[in-house]
Each structure stands twice: as C-alpha cells, then as structure tokens.
Amino acid sequence: MSRTVWREYMPAIVVAVAALVLWEAAVRGFQIERFLLPAPSAIVTNFIENFERLVHIGWFTTKEALGGFFIGCSLGILAAFITARWVAVNEAILPFAIAANSVPILAFAPIVNNWFGVDNPLSKMIIVAVIVFFPVMINTIRGLTLVDKNALELMHSYAASEVEILWKLRTPNALPYIFNAFKIAAALSMIGAVVSEYFGGNRSALGVFITQEAALFRFENAWSAIIIACIVGITFYLIIVAVERAVIPWYFEQRKAERH
C-alpha cells in the first residue's frame, strides 16, 4: 500500500525538490535581488518566525473562501436541480451559464466591496459565491442530463416517474460531475477571496497583507503569506478528494479497475 503510494507520488516529490534546489542555487549563484525573488531558505525562515500571525490572517481569508464556497455551491446545485426537472429548459440555460462563466467576475470586486463595505467579509464571500456558482451549476446540469440512453430507456420500461428517474439515475450519474466542480470551486474560492482582498479589506486578511507588505518592500512576508494561501488551497482540495472517495467509492474503484 505505502509502496504504491510512494511510487505514485515520487515523481512529483522529485520534481518539487529539484525545483527548490534550482531556485535556491539560482538566487545565490546569480545574486538575484531579494525584491525580485527571495531564496526559499529566506522565505522558510520568515515563515517560521511569523507563523502565528500568518495562521491568524490565513484563517480570516479561509473563512471568507469557505463561506463563499458553501453559498455558491449550494445555489449552483439548487439551480441545476430546479432546472433539471425540465430537461429542455436545462439545455437552453446551459449556453448562457457557460457564457456567464467566462465573464471575469473578479472585475466586479471593487463594486461589490462598495455595496457591502470593504471591511465586511460578506463582500468577499459574495464574490467567491458568484465565481463558484457557474462552474458548479454547469457541471451539475451536465451530470444530470448526460445520462446513458439505454439507462434512461430502462427507467421508461419500468414506467418510472420523472422524480424517480431524478433520484435513482440522474443524481447518482451527476455525483462525479459535482465533485469535479467542487475541486474547481475549491481552487477558485481561495483565488477569489485573496484577489478580491487586493482591492481592499480588513487588515488581517491575506490579500490585504500581501499588497501592504509588498508595497513596504517586505517581500519575505508577502511570500510567506502566499505559502499560507497555497497550503490552505491544497488542504481544501485534499479534503474534497477525501469526501469524494467516501461518498462515491464505486467511481474510483471502477476507474482503478479500468486502468488495469
């Protein structure tokens, strides 16, 4: 078990270590100025020194990301299920949802900040929720409608009602799509929260901290904050993968079986 895990992740670890070594060597060898790129060792030292403060501001932004994630995902799934009742409506909505999804919603961040108050975490949650809403809705609609034709005919042969078809066929069919959307949404929600904080916000928010420290030439501080953002993002993603494995184990086992 641990051997296969090791074999699976070893290439990634090797690449990461090699990149860090190269980075450190390049900064030292070419004497790169620290405002351009600090050495990994300098960032790590800074990270350890400021750990408590970083956790504090990291948690502040994580709460915004989580809030936006839950609001956006719930509404996205809800919208998909409501429209899924009418497959034709659903298919008509999809192109609009895809178009809306390509609108750079982050551009609205300063406006939303004004609406709800720059210091109010709610303004960030709303930005995140809107960003997350569309991919979740689109993927859920796809999962509910891209159903095997025979699987659907089988239901018709049993004279199953639309509600029964929704629960016993469309929903299980959509679960892998929904979890995929959650993974996309997890990444987007952290990006959305941090970047909308770039346009102003509470002093103890990650995005605000990064812009201020960078403006004051305290680049190691900014880099440490970025590391915190990365750690949160990756943790978020891994939690979703774990939940996915618990909820739809058949999906993984099947794909594993197909690979062999």
Partner 1 sequence: MTNTPTVSLKNVTKIFNPGQPNEVTALKNINLDIWPHEFVSLVGPSGCGKSTLLRLIADLTQPTEGTVQVNGKSAYRARIEQDYGIVFQSPTLYEWRTVAKNVELPLELMKYGRAERRERARKMLQLVELEGFENHHPWQLSGGMQQRVSIARALAFDPALLLMDEPFGALDEMTRERMNLELQNIWDRTGATIVFVTHSIPEAVFLSNRVVMLSPRPGCIAEIVDIDLPMPRAWEVREDPHYFELVNHLRDTLREIEGGMRE
- Residues 177 to 236 in contact with partner 1, rule: CB under 8 A: none
The tokens describing 191, both together, are: 């990006």
Are the beta carbons of 39 and 100 closer than 8 angstroms?
no
Are the beta carbons of 97 and 138 closer than 8 angstroms?
yes
| Helices 51-84 and 219-247: angle between axes, nearest 10 degrees | 40
DSSP letter string over 5-36?
Answer: HHHHHHHHHHHHHHHHHHHHHHHHHTT--TTT
Q: Which is nearer to partner 1, 12 or 159 (CB)?
A: 159
Compute the least distance from the CB of residue 169 to partner 1, in Å.
Answer: 7
Compute the least distance from the CB of residue 164 to partner 1, in Å.
Answer: 6
Query: Which of these, 37, 2, 34, lies nearest to 19 by C-alpha position?
Result: 37
What phi, psi does 162 have (nearest 5°)?
A: -60, -35
Q: Which is nearer to partner 1, 6 or 250 (CB)?
A: 250
Q: Which is nearer to partner 1, 171 or 204 (CB)?
A: 171
User: Residue 129: which residues within 8 A CB-CB, separation 6 or more?
Assistant: 67, 68, 69, 71, 72, 75
Query: Which of these, 162, 123, 125, 169, lies nearest to 146 by C-alpha position?
Result: 169
List the x/- string, 156-185, binding to partner 1 by CB under 8 A.
xxxxx---x---xx--x--x----------
Interface stretch with partner 1, choices 7-15, 46-54, 59-67, 151-159 (CB under 8 A) = 151-159
Q: Which is nearer to partner 1, 16 or 154 (CB)?
A: 154
Compute the least distance from the CB of residue 253 to partner 1, in Å.
Answer: 7
Interface with partner 1, residue 253, by CB under 8 A: yes
Query: Which of these, 15, 65, 3, lies nearest to 235 by C-alpha position?
Result: 65
The total of other beta-carbon atoms located within 10 Å of residue 86's CB is: 12
Interface with partner 1, residue 153, by CB under 8 A: yes
Q: Which is nearer to partner 1, 91 or 153 (CB)?
A: 153
Q: Which is nearer to partner 1, 122 or 248 (CB)?
A: 248
Q: Which is nearer to partner 1, 13 or 154 (CB)?
A: 154
Interface with partner 1, residue 254, by CB under 8 A: yes
Compute the least distance from the CB of residue 257 to partner 1, in Å.
Answer: 5
The total of other beta-carbon atoms located within 10 Å of residue 111's CB is: 11
How many chain residues interact with partner 1 (CB under 8 A)?
A: 22
Residues that bind partner 1 (CB under 8 A): 148, 150-151, 153-154, 156-160, 164, 168-169, 172, 175, 248, 250-251, 253-254, 257-258
